[in-house]
Amino acid sequence: MNVTGMLRDDALKGKTIIVTGGGTGLGKSVSRYLLQLGANVTICSRRQTVLDATAKELIDETSGQVLAVACDVRNPVEIENVIARTIEKFGKIDGLLNNSAGNFISPTERLSYKAFDTVVDIVLRGTYYFTLAVGKYWIENKIPGTVLNISTTYATTGSGYVVPSAVAKGGALIMTKSLAAEWGKYGIRLNAIAPGPFPTKGAWDRLFPEPLASMMDPTSRIPLHRVGEHGELANLAAFLLSDYSSYITGESITIDGGEVLMAGEFSHLENVTPEQWDMIEQTVRQANKASKKE
């Protein structure tokens, strides 16, 4: 499958968007599409060398304008530096994609306090620090803006073995909805995307390591029987960051091939064969008949 960009050319021309974690994985893929649509993009994360390599690659590919600034999203001073550098280079900021995250699988009782803090601080604190800093700038300067938070499907269902991430993504989702209510009057919209599995090195190394990866196939419990393609998520992200979604705020849109629906009590019956269904049907019909005679 080859995903085609869905927005018209120049749909984001003149817009400037900050993408946290834009040096790798989904953040990099979304940044590429934002640039193709004419946006200026600032990418930030902790490793300047990774950011510089990505910036060069994206500029060569798209001829767009990319600023790469190192920033730990847990540090408000570094966040303010990203904002100042972005305004200095591009004049203003129109959008913020909170995409940075830290995560790994572990039984919760094996975690130290610091391990729990580390994930929550990157995912939740990083998201509200960046949103607060950019939101203040928009409100002070009377600029309408859009925040898009990359969430997860387990932000609403919860999930074992990634509990700090679930706690933090859940908090960030409630912030998305709460601020959408509070900041709508300033023309600020906030939305979220809840992705199912989209292969990236960052997520796969930490969430599907060997020998686990060989033991479980993440596609087996997805109704569409495949993982997501980066272009599919990039299309949704660009739409939610663009003016085409101007009346959508406080929403979380799931993009997971139907994976969360498999939590439905009977959704796992797809391996039952037609012959077994014949037997099951007969048994149920007989039970119905018997109960009518009682």
Residues in contact with ligand HXC by the rule CB under 6 A? 101-104, 106, 110-112, 114-115, 118-119, 152, 165, 197, 202-203, 206-207
Residue nearest to ligand NAP (CB): 202
Residue 83 falls in which region: left (phi positive, over 0), alpha (psi -120 to 50) or beta: alpha
CB of 283: closest distance to ligand HXC in angstroms? 38
* Alpha-carbon span 215 to 4, nearest angstrom: 33
Size of the site for ligand NAP (CB under 6 A): 30
Contact pick of 50, 115, 133, 248 for ligand NAP (by CB under 6 A): 50
Contact pick of 87, 111, 203, 260 for ligand NAP (by CB under 6 A): 203
CB of 91: closest distance to ligand NAP in angstroms? 24
Q: Which amino acid is at 105?
A: I
User: Using the rule CB under 6 A, is 122 a contact of ligand NAP?
Assistant: yes
Residue with tokens 């400037």: 16
Interaction partner, residue 115 (ligand NAP, ligand HXC, none; CB < 5-8 Å by kind): ligand HXC
Interaction partner, residue 47 (ligand NAP, ligand HXC, none; CB < 5-8 Å by kind): ligand NAP
Question: Which of these is catalytic: 154, 161, 186, 247?
Answer: 154
Is 17:41 a contact under the CB 8 Å cutoff? yes
247 is catalytic: no
Interaction partner, residue 95 (ligand NAP, ligand HXC, none; CB < 5-8 Å by kind): none
Is 204:264 a contact under the CB 8 Å cutoff? no
H or E segment and range at residue 146 = strand 146-150
- Rank residues 111 and 248 by Cβ distance to ligand HXC and give the closer one: 111
Contact pick of 6, 38, 46, 115 for ligand NAP (by CB under 6 A): 46
Contact pick of 21, 64, 135, 164 for ligand NAP (by CB under 6 A): 21
Is 11:244 a contact under the CB 8 Å cutoff? yes
| Whole-number Cα distances in Å, 68 to 31, 37, 188 | 12, 19, 25
Which positions ≥6 away from 192 have C-beta within 8 Å?
Answer: 148, 149, 150, 151, 155, 172, 173, 176, 251, 252, 253
Interaction partner, residue 118 (ligand NAP, ligand HXC, none; CB < 5-8 Å by kind): ligand HXC
Question: For 291, phi and psi rounded to 5 degrees?
Answer: -70, -25
Stretch that binds ligand NAP, among 84-92, 194-202, 260-268, 284-292 (CB under 6 A): 194-202
Is 164:116 a contact under the CB 8 Å cutoff? yes
Interaction partner, residue 150 (ligand HXC, ligand NAP, none; CB < 5-8 Å by kind): ligand NAP
Is 176:147 a contact under the CB 8 Å cutoff? yes
- Rank residues 22 and 64 by Cβ distance to ligand NAP and give the closer one: 22
Interaction partner, residue 104 (ligand HXC, ligand NAP, none; CB < 5-8 Å by kind): ligand HXC
Is 153:260 a contact under the CB 8 Å cutoff? yes
Residue with tokens 């939101």: 135
User: Using the rule CB under 6 A, is 124 a contact of ligand NAP?
Assistant: no
**Which positions are annotated as active-site residues?**
154
